[in-house]
Amino acid sequence: MLNLRYFVIFLSLLVGLILMILPLPDPVQIYRPNWVALILIYWNMALPQRVGPWIAFFIGIVVDTSQGTLLGQHALALVIIIYINQIFHQRIRVMSLVQQAIYVFGLLVISQVIIVWVEGIMGRPPPLLAFFSAPFIGMLIWPWVFVVLRDIRRKANIN
């Protein structure tokens, strides 16, 4: 019974993964928000004991496999932002959606910097736009992601 509820979390992460590999036209790809990060941030805010650094790590490895990037690249980014989120989430939870979105923008920029930094170390530095384009879009859609996942969490009665 418990497992069925947590299956909803797993399913939402799966949807995030699908959104990461959905085909987009080449010039638009760089604006794709980090769906997995957004969904993970929400669940870490809502259930910090259940969804924590370990889940961030494993999801990150799965994202690395599906994206063809170095194993550990996205994992590192997600682990770090989940850690930061663990520290701040209680204060953030009570803020308005707009203020939350700005906070999430900060997290996404940190995650993006880590990913792009590793790309730079590997000898293939992405364009400057790559630092902000995806986090900016992520910030804009955060209120929507928050509301949708909150409704799903309430309907599925997950606590």
Partner 1 sequence: MNQLHYREQGTSIRTLFLVGLCIALMFVDQRFNHLEVVRSNISLVLSPIRYLVSLPAITGSWANEWLSSHIELLNENSALKAKGRILNARLQKMQVLKAENTRLRNMLGSSRKLADQVIVAELLSVDQSPYRQLIEINKGTFDGVELGLAVIDDFGVMGQVIHVNQYTATTILISDPEHAIPVQFIRSGTRSVAFGNGSVDQLELRYLPATADIKVNDQLVTSGLGGRFPADYPVATVISITKDLTHGFVSVLAKPLARLDSSREVLVVKSNNGLTAE
Let me know: does 108 contact 32? Beta carbons within 8 Å: no
DSSP string for residues in 7-46: HHHHHHHHHHHHHHHS---GGGGGG---HHHHHHHHHHHH
- C-alpha 137/C-alpha 25 separation (Å) is 16
Nearer to partner 1, 45 or 75 (CB): 75
In a 10 Å sphere around its CB, with 0-12 CB exposed, 13-18 middle and 19+ buried, how is residue 5 labelled? middle
Nearer to partner 1, 1 or 68 (CB): 68
CB of 53 to partner 1, least distance (A): 5
Nearer to partner 1, 96 or 127 (CB): 127
Amino acid at position 117, single letter: W
CB of 55 to partner 1, least distance (A): 11
Would you tell me which residues interact with partner 1 (CB under 8 A)? 14, 17-18, 20-24, 26, 29-30, 32, 52-54, 56-57, 60-62, 65-73, 75-76, 79-80, 82-83, 86-87, 116, 118-119, 122-124, 126, 130
Nearer to partner 1, 82 or 145 (CB): 82
CB of 136 to partner 1, least distance (A): 15
Angle at 146 between CA 72 and CA 73, to 5 degrees: 10
CB of 105 to partner 1, least distance (A): 20
